[in-house]
Structure 1
Amino acid sequence: MSNQTPCIVVACDGSEHSIQAAKMGEKLATALNQPLKLLAVFPGSKAERLVFTGVWPADIEQEQQDFGENAFKAAKEVINIDPDEEVVLRGHPVEEISDYLEEHPGAHMVLGRRGNSMARSLVMGSISEGVVRHAKGPVTVVSQ
C-alpha cells in the first residue's frame, strides 16, 4: 500500500497568475474533497542578491517569511476555504516545486502561467514548463 496523501497544492507568488491558480485549486479541492495547501518559493536568486548587497542572514530569513506571507495573503483573499498548510521554501522554483512533489506523493500541484513569449521563455525559462517537465506527480497549469 502506498504512503500517498492526496491534496491540492497551489504555488503562490502573489501575482495575478497565482491568484487564478488559487481559485482553480479551491475548485479542485472542493470537488475532490481534498485538503488545500499553499506553497511559496522564495527565489534563490533573490536571496543571493541580498547576500551580495550585504544583507544579514537573519534579514534574508525575514524577507523569505514576508514573501510567503504576502503570497499567501493574496491567495487567501480569493478563496473561501482555509488552507490546511502554508509552506515557504527557498531556491529555484522549478527544483523546489519538483522536489516537494516527489517528497509528497499524492499531491496535485496547481500553478499559474505568465504567458511569456516563446523568445522570453527560452531566455528566462518558464517555471510552469519546467515543473511540468520535471514533476513526479500531477500538475495543473492555469492560464488566463
Structure 2
Amino acid sequence: MTILVAYDGSGPARKAVEHAFVTYPDEEIVLLRVVEAASGSTTAGFDLAREYLKDRRDEIAEKGFDEVPEFENPDDVEFSTEVAVGQPAAEIVTFAEDHDVAHIIVGSHGRTGVSRVLLGSVAERIVRRSPVPVTVVR
C-alpha cells in the first residue's frame, strides 16, 4: 500500500509526515512537494515560466528535502520523495491517481493569515477531489 504525504515544509505538513511514520511504518511512504505554478501566464511568457518552474523543481528535488531526516522517525521508516510542478491540490490528486496511492495524508494548512483566506485551503480541495481516503492532520 502506498501512502502519499503532501509536504510543503510547514508545521502541519511536518506533523503529517510524523503521523505517516507512526501510523504506517511498514508501508511505502512517498513525500510529495509541489512547486506551485503561478496562474494566469500569458502565451508569450509561457515558455519562460515553464523553464523557470523546471529549474525550480530540479532545485527542490536536489535539496528541498534536506530537513526530512530531522523528523521524529524512531523506527527509521523508509520513504521516498517526489517533486511536482503545478497547483498543489491538483498535483497531489493527480499523483495519487497515477501512482496507485491508497491513502493521502495532508497537514491542515500550509499558509497562514490573509494568503490562506484569499487562496483557499489546499487541504479542503484535496479532500473534495481525492479518489482515495484522506487524513488531515492538525
Normalising by structure 1, what TM-score? 0.74
1:45-60 equivalences in 2 (<5 Å): 45=38, 57=51, 59-60=52-53
2:92 to 68, 91, 97: 97
* Counterparts in 2 of 1:27 and 1:138: CA distance versus 1, 3 Å: same
Give 5+ residue unaligned stretches, structure 1. 1-5
Give 5+ residue unaligned stretches, structure 2. none
Report the 3-state secondary structure (helix = DSSP H, G, I; strand = E; otherwise coil) of the residue aligned with 2:30.
Answer: strand
CA RMSD of aligned residues (A): 2.8
Residue 107 of structure 2 is aligned to residue 82 of structure 1: no
* Counterparts in 2 of 1:113 and 1:71: CA distance versus 1, 3 Å: farther
The answer to whether the 8 A contact 2:12-2:110 is kept is: no
* Counterparts in 2 of 1:56 and 1:107: CA distance versus 1, 3 Å: closer
Hey, what does 2:58 align to over in structure 1?
Answer: 65
The one-letter code matched in structure 2 to 1:28 is: T
2:127 to 125, 132, 139: 132
* Counterparts in 2 of 1:115 and 1:43: CA distance versus 1, 3 Å: closer
Percent identity between the aligned chains?
27
The one-letter code matched in structure 2 to 1:109 is: I
Report the 3-state secondary structure (helix = DSSP H, G, I; strand = E; otherwise coil) of the residue aligned with 2:32.
Answer: strand
2:33 to 35, 40, 51: 40
Hey, what does 1:3 align to over in structure 2?
Answer: none
Report the 3-state secondary structure (helix = DSSP H, G, I; strand = E; otherwise coil) of the residue aligned with 2:67.
Answer: helix
State the number of aligned residues. Answer: 130
Deviations 1:81-130 (A, max 9, x none): 221x321111001111111122233421111112878x865532100000
Report the 3-state secondary structure (helix = DSSP H, G, I; strand = E; otherwise coil) of the residue aligned with 2:125.
Answer: helix
In the alignment, the residues of structure 1 paired with residue 84 and residue 70 of structure 2 have an alpha-carbon distance, to the nearest angstrom, of 21
- The CA deviation at 1:7 is 1.4
Q: Which has the higher helix share?
A: 1
